[in-house]
Chain A
């Protein structure tokens, strides 16, 4: 090895805790892929997997790798340390997970999704109307953090006059996921307020269900069993994070790339709004909202001349796999016209008829994102409506610090902190 290669190969695990890594993890991802396809991080007590086909293989092997979190002395106490309370993700690969998933997965795809889309359209336009006369907006606070939560609130069939309160709870809950006891306390407080608010609704709709999502979740049965009220509440909270926060950040990231990364391709999208769909796909490859997934080995696993012991913590760097030059040409270039990525809708298998590899941003297999179809459609509709409304749109500030995340290794969602747009007044 040359001296430079040796320096690159020599990875100090404390680099994962650096601010530089949260801002731009891609150089480290490349070093991992090239020199340490399996990296045993002794400092954080975990194993890191970063190449595309290795991440894929772990996702596909649900016998060898489990999603559930365990304490050293036994199963994890569900919901105990989480702002969101007990939720479906924590049930790992168990029958419980399958039961809950089977009950709700059908609510966000197919005809049921199609039925929700006019409402997404309407809410996007309502939110846009509030700032369009100003000739400028800060996209994160005024648009991307507004639309998805209002959509979920409507899907759940909450009264429209409570929407603003719901958005407030959402912001506190999400802040509670970050670091610091104070944020967490306020997040849990907001969660409890929200649960007190929603509790009577759960009771009422379990008895007299309507067509709304909350009713459907309350009465959905699998093997003759309904969800408990606690599970319903945990699911509502999960919807806010997994369905709200991620879509919020997806929309912000898509606009960031159109404003700063590829202004040339922005012109193509202005001409043909159908391309927002491809902006979504390429964003999910290039720098997706979620970079990491966690697994535990259920038995000893051999990979790339390493033996990973049983019950070892595994981090999958989805975003590292997405930049693997063994799979994608010019992986560090954002390009909505790339011909080596499956551009259409994703599916659970990660396998496609066109033979092209898909992005890893939704995961693959048993825990494949349940809201995959919804996220894509909602983001594309919201972005399309906004782009139609803002004529001659441009960045208000020439330099942007870029996309970042609170903490990649604790599953922090990536997005720009602020995104100022300037446009011609209507």
Chain B
């Protein structure tokens, strides 16, 4: 699973990097940067759960998971 950030939609709420610093960090301009680009669903179910939570808490609906 690849974590995608749509920078057109993102309005820098910070919800992803505040709630899930294991997956995202604040970039220089306040936009999130994915720390982990790809989560292997088979190996790391916990990380995948976190990625799904991040997708849920994002108020701008800018995060998506792709196969």
Binding site for B on A (CB under 8 A): 62, 95, 98, 101-102, 105-106, 109-110, 222, 347-349, 351-353, 365-366, 368, 370, 373
Contact = CB atoms under 8 A, between A and B. Distances in A.
Contacts of A95: 28
Nearest to B15: A347
A349 B60 CA distance: 10
Contacts of B30: 62, 348, 365-366
A106 B19 contact: yes
B22 to A, nearest CB: 8
B21 A105 contact: yes
B19 A349 contact: no
A57 to B, nearest CB: 15
Given A109-B19, A347-B13, A347-B15, A353 B25 contact: no
Contacts of A62: 30
Given A102-B25, A348-B15, A351-B13, 4 more contacts: A102-B21, A348-B13, A349-B13, A365-B12
A348 B59 CA distance: 11
B47 to A, nearest CB: 13
A351 B14 contact: no
A98 B26 contact: yes
A98 B26 CA distance: 7
Contacts of A105: 14, 17-18, 21, 26
Contact of B26 (A102, A347, A373): A102
B4 interface: no
Given A105-B18, A109-B19, A349 B59 contact: yes
B55 to A, nearest CB: 13
A244 B38 CA distance: 38
Given A102-B26, A105-B18, A365-B30, A110 B53 contact: yes
B: interface residue count bin? 10 to 19
A351 B17 CA distance: 17
A107 to B, nearest CB: 9
Contacts, number: 55
Given A101-B26, A368-B14, A351 B59 contact: yes
Contact of B28 (A98, A370, A373): A98
Interface string B47-62: 0000001000001100
Contact of B14 (A222, A349, A352, A353): A349
A21 B22 CA distance: 45
Contacts of A365: 12, 30
A368 B12 CA distance: 11
A351 B22 CA distance: 24
Interface string B7-49: 0000111110111111001101010000000000000000000
A222 B21 CA distance: 11
A61 B19 CA distance: 24
Contacts of B25: 102, 222
A347 B28 contact: no
A89 to B, nearest CB: 16
Contact of B18 (A98, A106, A222): A106
A98 B21 CA distance: 13
Nearest to A62: B30
A222 B33 CA distance: 13
A415 B15 CA distance: 29
Contacts of A98: 26, 28
Nearest to A60: B12
A351 B15 CA distance: 12
A351 B6 CA distance: 17
Going nearest first, the 9 A-B pairs with the smallest beta carbon separation are A106-B21, A348-B14, A110-B19, A347-B13, A349-B13, A349-B11, A109-B18, A109-B19, A351-B11
Contact of B59 (A101, A109, A222, A347): A347
A60 B22 CA distance: 26
Nearest to A95: B28
B5 to A, nearest CB: 14
A347 B60 CA distance: 11
Contacts of A101: 26
